[in-house]
Structure 1
C-alpha cells in the first residue's frame, strides 16, 4: 500500500485564538511542502500509428490528429505534446520501432475484416515492453471478432468514432498508469477509479472525464504563486485508473485506497471469471459472464472500508437507480442524453472539483460559495453552524483540498474525522490554522506574481512586472529561500525568523515609467539633483497600480519602506551599497494620502539613479549610467508604533568576516553592530555596540564604566509618523527623527536592551531602573538569554555564507516583546568581495623603518604596487573636529582630479571616515573618496574614535578592494611616518589637506587573516 506522510519538520502550526480548546494531538504539527517538479516524470513522447492508407489519410488530412492534439495540449496548458508517426504495414512499423524510441503503438483497423489485431500481436511479440492499444470503429463484425480475441496482451482496446479527444485520453490514461505509484509516493496525488468493461462506453466517458479533470487542473493551478509553479502544479491533478473486472477493480482500490478521490462504477461487469487461454488459442469462443450486481457488490465492499469516499454508479438499466440510492450511492443513467452533464455535476458536488458550495443540510440550498484557499480561510468562521457540521461530518473539506492538489492540508484534515472530534468550532479553528500554516509555508522562499485578490497578511513576497528584481530584490528573495531551506531558524519557541512582507516593482516598470514620461533627457543632463527630483515628481505612475498598492497597504498595516534595488546594487562582484535613496512613509488611515506619498517616494527613488553622486559612482566603476535599471522594493517597516514614533527595538548589520577581532574572537566568527532604532543609524556610521555572535558576553564597550558611558549609543533614528506631505527631498531622511535614548525610555521600548547607570553607586546595572542614565547594552539579549539573537545570527551567517560561497553582510531588525518573545527580520544580504591575491611575504618581518604606514587593525587583503600619491589631513595643533565638514569638501575636490586622471592615492586622516556625525570623523560620502586605494584612520592623543563596522561605506571599501588601516601612533599601535610626507614637496596644498607624490610607487601589502597591513615607501 502506498501512502504519503506529511508530518515532517518543515512548517509548524501555531494556533490562534482557540488553541486552548484544540486537543493536544492536533495542537502542534508540521506540514511538508510538496514539490510538483518530480511528478509525471514518465511521458508518452512518440506515438506510432499503424493504419491503412485510407485511415492514415483520414487522420492526417481530415482529422489533423497531430495538430488537434497539439492545440489541445496548448489550450489545457499541458507541456510535452507527443509526436506522431504513421505507417501502413507491419514491415514499416518494425523499421520505425527498431530506429526510433516509440512509447505507444496505436493499431487501427480500417474495416471489420482487416488484421489490426494480428498487427498488434506482431508488435507485442517483437517489442513486448512497448505499450500497445487497438483503436477500432465498431461494427457487428468487430464485436464478434473481439469475442474471440485475447485482449489481455494489449493495454486497451478503444472504440474509434473520429474524436481526437480520445487520442488525448488514451495518452493521459497511459501516462497515469505509468506514474501513479511514484506520484502517490512523492506527493499524495489522488486517484479516480473508473470500473467499466464496455469498450464503447469507456471510449466515450474517458474523453469527457479527462476534459473535465484537465480543465479543473487549470483552475486549481491558480493557487500557485508563480506562472512556472502554476504549470508544474497541474501535474498534481487526480489520476484516472480504468478497471474492467471486479477483481481488477478491487485490487486497484486496495492498492490506492488511501488516495482514492472517488469511484465511478458500472452496474454489470465480469466477476470471478477464469479464462482458459488454451481454449482461446484453439479458436474456441469463450463467453465471459457478467454479474448484474457486480457494481453494487464492489461499492458495498469499498463503503465498508471507507465511509467517506464518494461512490457513483452508472448503468443503462434504470431499475439500478433505486438499488444504488437505497444504499447511499449516487447514480448516473447511461441512457440520459445529458449523462456527461450529470456525471460532471456529481464530480463537482462530491469529489471536490470546482467551487466549494456550502449547503443548507435540510433544503440543500447554497449558503456560501468558496472559490479558492484564501476564500475558505476568510470565510471559515462565517459559515452557518449546521452547514459546517454537514460538510465536516462527511470529510468534504479534505476532499476538496485533495482535488485542488493541496495535499499537505488535506492529508492532515483527513485524519480529523467527526468521530474523533465532535466540535464544529474547533474544526473551524483547526482548518483555519492549517490553511494559514500552509500559505505561510508556500510563500516562504517564493517570488510570487502579485495578485491583489490574494495578497493578504499571510502573503509574503511578490513581484509586479516581468523584469528583474534588482540586486536588493534578488538578495531578499535569496534570504527568504535560505530561511525556508533551514527549518532550524524557527526552532526556538520564543522566536520567529522571516523577511518583511515585500512587493517588488520590477525593472520593466522603471523602463515604462521613464519612456512614457520622457524623462531621459533631463535625467542624463547636468541638471541639479533638485531639478531632476522635481521633474520625476511631476511624472505619472500608471493608475493600474492603485488597486495593487491599496491591497499592499491592507496586508501590511504598517509604515512602508521604499527601497532602491538597481541591477548593480549588491551584485556579487560590484555592489552599489547605499548609493541610491530609500524613503519611508507612515501608515495612514487615509489610504489616498498614503498612496500619494508612496507614489512620490517611488518616483524619488527612480530619480536618485541620476543624482550627481550616482553619476560620479558610475564613472568610478566604469559603468554607463543609461544602462542602469531600477527596481523598487516596497517593504513593511520592521518596528512598533510609539505615539508619533515608529522603530524596532534592535537593528543590526552582521558581517561574516571580523577584521577587528579582540580577545578570543576569530576573523571567521564574524562581527555584528547593534543599535536601537532604525538601521539607517548604523549605515550612516552612528555609534553602535560591536560584538561577535560567537562571544556575546565579551563586549568591549561594556568592559569598563567610563568606556560604556562614553562609547555607547546616545541617539537613535525613528520614523516621524506625523510627517505627512509632499515635501520629498533629495535627502531621503527628511522624515526620519534623530531622538535621544531618553525618548526611547519614555516610549517604554528599552526592555531587555538597556542597562542603568546609577551615579550614586557609580555602577551600571543590567536592566531598567528608575533614575539614572540608560545604557544601550543589549544585556538581556547578549548576556541573559532573553531572546536567542546570537544563536540566530550564527545560523544566518553560516547558512548565508555557505549559500553564497563567499563572506556576506546581512542587515536585520528585531521586535522584542515584554513576554520574552520576538521576531527577527532579515532585511538584506550582500557579498563581501575580497581580493584573492596571494600574499607570500610575512609582513611581521618587514622592519618599521621601511614602513610609511603599518597597521595591526587593517581591513583588506592583497598586494598593490602602482600608487605614488598620498593625500593626508594636517593634524597639527590647530586641528579640531569643528573643521571636518570643510576638510571633506577639500578632499572631494582633490578626489575629482584623481578620477579625471584615472589614478589612485592613499588617504590619511583622523577619526571615522564616512561618519554622518562630523564630530566622530570626516563626513565624506563614498563618491568623494572613490579614487583612494588605501584609507587610513589616524588616532590622535586628543581625538580618539573607535573604528566603525558594518556600514555601506565599509561595504564599498571591500567590494572595490580598498584597504582600511586603523593606526594609533600615540599609543604605539602601528606606524605612521608623517615626517617623510612633510619632507616631500606638495603637489597641492589647501588649508587642511596636503597632497604629495613619491618618485616611485609605494608597495601596499595587506594580510586579511591577520588584520595586518603595511605600506613600504620606495627605498633608495
Structure 2
C-alpha cells in the first residue's frame, strides 16, 4: 500500500461487532475493507452492525449502489444511497465514483455493492482490479472507511492479488451449511499470534481454530462442498471460452446471446454501428478479432469501421472482392490496455484534474508529458513482443482507434496521431520503437486540437478511451525504400463536382503514389490527383502545363536506412527504385525528357498522371463498385482510405485501411438562383469549385484577409494575424463568411493563412481566393483531414479563381468597415470586418447546375 498513515488511538473505528474488533484490533481511519464471499447475505450480516456503530458515532455513511444483486442496505437512518450506473463503462463509472468521493470529502464512510457485479457491465476482470487501484488510495488519503464485497471464484488470481496488495483489510468468509468460518487475510499494520487463523463463528463469538488437524478437516469439508478447484481465468477469457463451446455444440440461442454480449463490449456501443455489426460480423469474425487482440475491451471506432467495411464487401459482393481485396492482417490494442497504462503509471488523479472545467485545457500539457514518459505493465509488454513476432520486419502503422472515432457524425479526422514504424533492428529495438509509438498516440488524446474538437461537439465529458489499430504497411521493398504503388481516399458522394456534367452520386477519389499520408493531409507545394469517378479523365485544369504543375512531385515513403517516414522527390525515387511500376502510374513528359537528355541527365522524366491506371486497368470500375457497395451497406455515404497493390499486368488489388460514414453537409432542396444580378450587387459568382450541396444562407458578417497587405507581412506577423483572426471570429454568433488568400489552415504561411481549425470552426462559409501574389492558390483537398473538419462542422467551402472566365469576384462591393484601417496596426489592417446584419448578403448555390452566387438581394434583378 503506497502512502503513510500514522495510527493513533483516536484513529480506531469499530466494525460494530466487539468480537471482530478483538480479532482485527479494530479498524483504522483510512481502511478499505474487502470481504471475499460467495454469499452476499454473509456480507450483509457484517454490514448492518457497522452501520449501527457509524450512526452511534455520528458518521455520514454513503451506500454506493451499482450492483444487479439485491440491495446490501435497504433502509437505514445513517445511510444515504447513491445509485451509480456501471453500464457506461470503466471510465464513466470510475470518474463518477471519484467525483463523489471528492465532493463528500474527509471522514465519510462508504458501503459498496459487490465488485464482482461490475463484471456483468464490463466483461473484464482486469478493469475491476484497476478500479480498485484507482479508488482505494483516494479513500485512504481522505481518511474514510469503505467496505467492499467480491466473490473470489469469479476473478482471476491477478485481479485478486492486485486488490489484496492495494487494500488495507481483507477478510474471507466460508460457509458450509450453518458452519461459518471467518479468516482475516490482511490487516495492514496489525498483527497478533492468531489474527490470520480461520475463526469459527459460534453464537456471535469468533473463536480461532488453533488445532491444525481441525483446521485441515474444516478446509477439506469446505472444498468438498464447493467442488474441485477451477483455474481462475479472467472473466474476458471465460466469455470467449463460452463462445467456442457454444459454437462447438451448435447451441444457436446461446450463440446469439453471446454474440450480442461480445458486440457490446468489444465492437461498439453506438446504436448505428451496433446495427451494422449485427448484420455483418459473425461469431467467427469476433473470435478472429479476439485472436489478434492485446488486452481486453473495445477495439475502438477506426478498427470497427475497417472490419465492418471488409465484411460488407465480402458478404454483399463476394464475386468481386474475394479475389481483389487484400487479406486482412491487423492487430488491436484494446481500450482496457489504455486504462491499465494510466493506472499503472498513477495518472488517474491527473486525468481527473484535466476533466474539470478549469483544468480541461490547462492540465492537458502536463498529463500529455506524463503519458509520454509512462511505462507499460509487464503483461502488455509481453503481448506486444508476440505481436511484433507476427509481423517480422515488415513496417507497421500504429493508428488511433478511440471509442468515438469514425462514427456517424464524429470522424476525429487527423485529431489523433498515427505513427509509421520501419520495424527494423533486433527485437528489443523494435519493441522500444513500438512502445514509443503507442505512447505518442495515447498522448495525442491530450493535444489542444483534439480537446477543442471534442469540446465544440459536446463530447468533452464523454468516455473516450484510446484503442489502437496496428496494421502491416501494404507495399514492397525497393532497396532502401518501402512503399505501396499507390494510395488514396475515395468518397461515395462527390459534393465537389467541378463540372456540371459530373454526377455527384458517382463518387470521387484523391490518389497519390506511395503512402496515403499525402492523400489525407493538406499537401504544401504539392498536389494529389483528384478524379470524379464518372469522368476520371476530366481534370480541373486549363492546359497540360497546369496539369503537370498541379500534380504530385513528392512521394511519402519509409526510408529503411534512416528508419523514418520520409518524403522523396519523384526524380530521386525514379533513379533509386526503377522497379516501381512507373508505366502504370504515370506518363513520360517527352519535352522534359528531351531537355534532361540535353543536360546529360539520364532516364525519362515521369509525370504522375495515373492515366494508364485509369485507362488500362479495372481501377475505376472496381473503386466505384467498392464505394457503391459500402454506401449501400452503411445506408450512408462513406469515406474510404485504401492502398493499391498492382500485379504484373498492372491490375489493382485493394487493401482497405479505413472506412467511416462520410461527413456531409446536409442535403437541402434545390436552391433558387436569381436569373440575373447586377454586377454592382455581386460579391462573387462562380461555376464549380464549391462544396456543401445546395446552399441558401443569409450572410450577416464578412471577415476578409486583405491579400495585398498580407503579402507584405513577415513570417512571424502572419502567425500573429492567424491568432488575432481566431479572436475576431469568436466575438459574435452572426452568420459569418471568411475570405482569405490561398489555403486556410496551411502550415506554410506563404501559401495562405496558417490558422488552426479550432480558430475558424464557428464560421459558416470558408472562401479561398487565388491571388496573383506568390503561390496563394486554393487547394481542392477533398478527402483531407481539413476537409473532414469542414463538413463535420457544416461549413460550406468555396474556391475562387478570379483570373478564370467562370469566376467573378468584387471585394470592393463590400460595405466599408466601421473603423478605418489607418487607425490600426498593420496586422489589424489586414483583417477587414464588414458588418451586414441590417442588410445581409445572400449566398445561393445549386449543386446540379454547379453554380454559386453571393449577392445583395435588394439589388434589382433584370
Q: TM-score range by the shorter chain?
A: 0.5 to 0.7
SS in 1 for 2:411: coil
Matching of residue 478 in structure 1 with residue 317 in structure 2? no
Matching of residue 908 in structure 1 with residue 739 in structure 2? yes
Q: Which 5+ residue runs of structure 1 have no aligned equivalent?
A: 1-221, 239-440, 456-461, 725-734
Report the Cα distance in structure 2 between the residues aligned to 1:590 and 1:235, rounded to whole angstroms: 44
1:594 to 408, 417, 430: 430
Report the Cα distance in structure 2 between the residues aligned to 1:447 and 1:627, rounded to whole angstroms: 23
Report the Cα distance in structure 2 between the residues aligned to 1:780 and 1:794, rounded to whole angstroms: 17
From the CA coordinates, give the structure whose radius of gyration is larger: 1
Which residue pairs with 2:528 in the alignment?
688
Does the 8 Å contact 2:718/2:749 carry over to 1?
A: no
Q: How far did 1:449 drift?
A: 5.8
Which residue pairs with 1:985 in the alignment?
818
2:555 to 716, 719, 722: 716
TM-score, structure 2 normalization: 0.60
Q: How far did 1:714 drift?
A: 0.7
Matching of residue 649 in structure 1 with residue 485 in structure 2? yes
Does the 8 Å contact 2:492/2:508 carry over to 1?
A: yes
Q: Cα–Cα, structure 1 residues 860 and 945, in superposed 2: closer, same or farther, change >3 Å?
A: closer
1:508 to 333, 336, 340: 336
Cα offsets for 1:946-977 (capped at 9, x unmatched): 52221111112112211001222333433433
1:1013 to 818, 834, 852: 852
Q: How far did 1:757 drift?
A: 1.4
Which residue pairs with 1:800 in the alignment?
630
Q: Cα–Cα, structure 1 residues 860 and 881, in superposed 2: closer, same or farther, change >3 Å?
A: farther
Q: Cα–Cα, structure 1 residues 895 and 761, in superposed 2: closer, same or farther, change >3 Å?
A: closer
Report the Cα distance in structure 1 between the residues aligned to 2:666 and 2:799, rounded to whole angstroms: 22
Which residue pairs with 1:707 in the alignment?
546
Q: How far did 1:618 drift?
A: 2.3
SS in 1 for 2:758: helix
Q: How far did 1:620 drift?
A: 2.3
Which residue pairs with 1:935 in the alignment?
766
Q: Cα–Cα, structure 1 residues 484 and 938, in superposed 2: closer, same or farther, change >3 Å?
A: same
Which residue pairs with 2:271 in the alignment?
none
Which residue pairs with 1:672 in the alignment?
509
Cα offsets for 1:529-559 (capped at 9, x unmatched): 7654431122122221233323322323321
Does the 8 Å contact 2:671/2:694 carry over to 1?
A: no
Q: Cα–Cα, structure 1 residues 510 and 443, in superposed 2: closer, same or farther, change >3 Å?
A: same
Q: Cα–Cα, structure 1 residues 226 and 949, in superposed 2: closer, same or farther, change >3 Å?
A: farther
Cα offsets for 1:923-944 (capped at 9, x unmatched): 4442232122100111234554
Matching of residue 611 in structure 1 with residue 447 in structure 2? yes
Cα offsets for 1:648-679 (capped at 9, x unmatched): 11011111222124374311111111111111
Report the Cα distance in structure 2 between the residues aligned to 1:957 and 1:839, rounded to whole angstroms: 21
Q: How far did 1:445 drift?
A: 8.7
Q: Cα–Cα, structure 1 residues 808 and 515, in superposed 2: closer, same or farther, change >3 Å?
A: same
Q: Cα–Cα, structure 1 residues 960 and 618, in superposed 2: closer, same or farther, change >3 Å?
A: same
Which residue pairs with 2:781 in the alignment?
948
Report the Cα distance in structure 1 between the residues aligned to 2:800 and 2:785, rounded to whole angstroms: 22
Report the Cα distance in structure 1 between the residues aligned to 2:385 and 2:577, rounded to whole angstroms: 30
Cα offsets for 1:884-921 (capped at 9, x unmatched): 77545523433245447556521111223334555544
Which residue pairs with 1:536 in the alignment?
371
Does the 8 Å contact 1:501/1:635 carry over to 2?
A: yes
Q: Cα–Cα, structure 1 residues 237 and 955, in superposed 2: closer, same or farther, change >3 Å?
A: closer
Which residue pairs with 2:804 in the alignment?
971
Report the Cα distance in structure 2 between the residues aligned to 1:646 and 1:830, rounded to whole angstroms: 27
Does the 8 Å contact 1:489/1:496 carry over to 2?
A: no
Matching of residue 873 in structure 1 with residue 705 in structure 2? yes
Report the Cα distance in structure 2 between the residues aligned to 1:572 and 1:650, rounded to whole angstroms: 28
Does the 8 Å contact 1:648/1:814 carry over to 2?
A: yes
2:404 to 559, 563, 568: 568
Report the Cα distance in structure 1 between the residues aligned to 2:605 and 2:713, rounded to whole angstroms: 27
Q: Within 5 Å, give how 1:149-168 maps onto structure 2.
A: none
Q: How far did 1:783 drift?
A: 1.8
Report the Cα distance in structure 1 between the residues aligned to 2:835 and 2:241, rounded to whole angstroms: 60
Report the Cα distance in structure 1 between the residues aligned to 2:507 and 2:516, rounded to whole angstroms: 19
Q: Cα–Cα, structure 1 residues 594 and 899, in superposed 2: closer, same or farther, change >3 Å?
A: farther
SS in 1 for 2:535: coil
Cα offsets for 1:81-121 (capped at 9, x unmatched): xxxxxxxxxxxxxxxxxxxxxxxxxxxxxxxxxxxxxxxxx
Report the Cα distance in structure 2 between the residues aligned to 1:977 and 1:587, rounded to whole angstroms: 54
Q: Cα–Cα, structure 1 residues 233 and 793, in superposed 2: closer, same or farther, change >3 Å?
A: same
Report the Cα distance in structure 2 between the residues aligned to 1:652 and 1:588, rounded to whole angstroms: 26
Does the 8 Å contact 1:447/1:477 carry over to 2?
A: no
Report the Cα distance in structure 1 between the residues aligned to 2:552 and 2:670, rounded to whole angstroms: 41
SS in 2 for 1:605: helix
SS in 2 for 1:852: strand
Q: Cα–Cα, structure 1 residues 229 and 531, in superposed 2: closer, same or farther, change >3 Å?
A: same
Which residue pairs with 2:569 in the alignment?
740
Does the 8 Å contact 1:912/1:947 carry over to 2?
A: no
Q: How far did 1:563 drift?
A: 0.9
Q: Within 5 Å, give how 1:23-102 maps onto structure 2.
A: none
Q: Which 5+ residue runs of structure 2 have no aligned equivalent?
A: 1-235, 253-279
Cα offsets for 1:795-849 (capped at 9, x unmatched): 1110111111122111111133445355311111122233446335412436255
Does the 8 Å contact 2:737/2:764 carry over to 1?
A: yes
SS in 1 for 2:836: strand
Q: Cα–Cα, structure 1 residues 537 and 555, in superposed 2: closer, same or farther, change >3 Å?
A: same
Does the 8 Å contact 1:225/1:449 carry over to 2?
A: no
Report the Cα distance in structure 2 between the residues aligned to 1:890 and 1:620, rounded to whole angstroms: 23
Which residue pairs with 2:325 in the alignment?
497
Cα offsets for 1:471-518 (capped at 9, x unmatched): 2122111112122213446469xx631365212222232233223323
Q: Within 5 Å, give how 1:349-498 maps onto structure 2.
A: 446-448=285-287, 462-488=292-318, 490=320, 496-498=324-326
Q: Cα–Cα, structure 1 residues 690 and 861, in superposed 2: closer, same or farther, change >3 Å?
A: closer
Q: CA RMSD in A?
A: 3.7
Report the Cα distance in structure 2 between the residues aligned to 1:972 and 1:903, rounded to whole angstroms: 32
Report the Cα distance in structure 1 between the residues aligned to 2:573 and 2:780, rounded to whole angstroms: 26
Which residue pairs with 2:380 in the alignment?
545
Cα offsets for 1:49-94 (capped at 9, x unmatched): xxxxxxxxxxxxxxxxxxxxxxxxxxxxxxxxxxxxxxxxxxxxxx
1:230 to 200, 222, 244: 244
Report the Cα distance in structure 1 between the residues aligned to 2:844 and 2:819, rounded to whole angstroms: 25
Larger CA deviation: 995-1004 vs 467-476:
995-1004
1:754 to 577, 586, 599: 586
Which residue pairs with 2:497 in the alignment?
660
Q: How far did 1:699 drift?
A: 4.5
Q: How far did 1:882 drift?
A: 8.3
